[in-house]
């Protein structure tokens, strides 16, 4: 027989395994209904020693199927680590031009490079290519990664991809998200995006 370290959480798991109401469970254990309710509201609470003995007795005297249900219900929930939001950003060049999109903000417009969210397990390079085509109609290929950083404005992890133009006319294929799409001269880039916000390796790659 497994030794159970009783807490409010474990006591509630046994109640669910028995499929009893608070009143039925309290009567079985010989405790007040409010004690059972306290386990539900404070799952980390440790019952008094005499109540732990009563829980042991109920558990050990339960049918095998109840004990199996309890063991399943009492298992700790798997730990899931939160993943930081990542975006892939495409710096697409054609001759002496670079591709930009003009995003619609809550109260303003802002020029940026095409970008898309990288879902868990996805490749930033693939996302950069696919999102560029989805937003602008331009097909490109990744030449090389330029690095990554925590974006100073949005706080997301930004993965930058240097991309070469293949084909397609630049058109606004996402009018809800974007106001415009344009090829702009590399030398004029900082007229559209403030230089201090541009990832330095981008400026080096476009120099």
Can you give the pLDDT at residue 24? 95
Q: What is the 3-state secondary structure (H, E, C) of 94-134?
A: ECCEEEEEEEECCCCEEEECCEEEECCCCCHHHHHHHHHHH
Query: CA–CA separation, 85 vs 48, rounded Å?
Result: 45
Can you give the pLDDT at residue 154? 80
Supply the pTM of this predicted model. Answer: 0.61
The CATH number assigned to the domain with range 86-206 reads 3.90.79.10
Q: Average of pLDDT values for 182-189? A: 95
The domains of the chain are located at 8-73, 86-206
Using 50, 70 and 90 to split pLDDT, how confident is the model at 155? confident
Can you give the pLDDT at residue 120? 87
Using 50, 70 and 90 to split pLDDT, how confident is the model at 164? very high
Q: Average of pLDDT values for 195-206? A: 91
Residue 146 backbone dihedrals phi, psi, to 5 degrees: -105, -5
Whether the pLDDT of residue 78 is over 80: the answer is no
Using 50, 70 and 90 to split pLDDT, how confident is the model at 83? low
Determine contact, residues 91/202, Cβ cutoff 8 Å.
yes
> Which of 7, 116, 1 has the alpha carbon at shortest distance from 51?
7
Q: What is the mean pLDDT of the chain?
A: 91
19-36 pLDDT, tens digit per residue, is 999 999 999 999 999 999
């Amino acid at each position: 027989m497994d030794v159970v370290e009783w807490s409010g959480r474990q006591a509630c798991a046994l109640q669910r395994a028995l499929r009893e109401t608070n009143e039925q469970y309290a009567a079985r254990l010989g405790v007040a209904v409010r004690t059972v309710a306290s386990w539900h509201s404070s799952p980390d609470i440790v019952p008094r020693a005499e109540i732990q003995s009563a829980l042991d007795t109920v558990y050990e005297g339960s049918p095998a199927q109840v004990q199996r249900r309890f063991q399943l219900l009492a298992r700790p929930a798997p730990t899931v680590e939160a993943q930081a939001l990542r975006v892939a950003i495409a710096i697409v060049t054609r001759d002496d031009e670079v591709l930009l999109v003009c995003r619609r903000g809550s109260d303003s417009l802002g020029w940026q490079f095409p970008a898309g969210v990288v879902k868990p397990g996805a490749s930033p390079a693939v996302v950069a290519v696919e999102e560029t085509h989805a937003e602008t109609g331009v097909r490109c290929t990744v030449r090389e990664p330029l690095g990554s950083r925590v974006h100073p404005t949005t706080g997301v992890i930004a993965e930058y991809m240097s991309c070469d133009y293949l084909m397609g006319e630049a058109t606004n294929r996402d009018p809800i998200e974007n106001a415009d799409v344009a090829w702009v001269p590399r030398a004029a880039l900082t007229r559209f995006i403030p230089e201090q916000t541009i990832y330095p390796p981008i400026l080096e790659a476009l120099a």
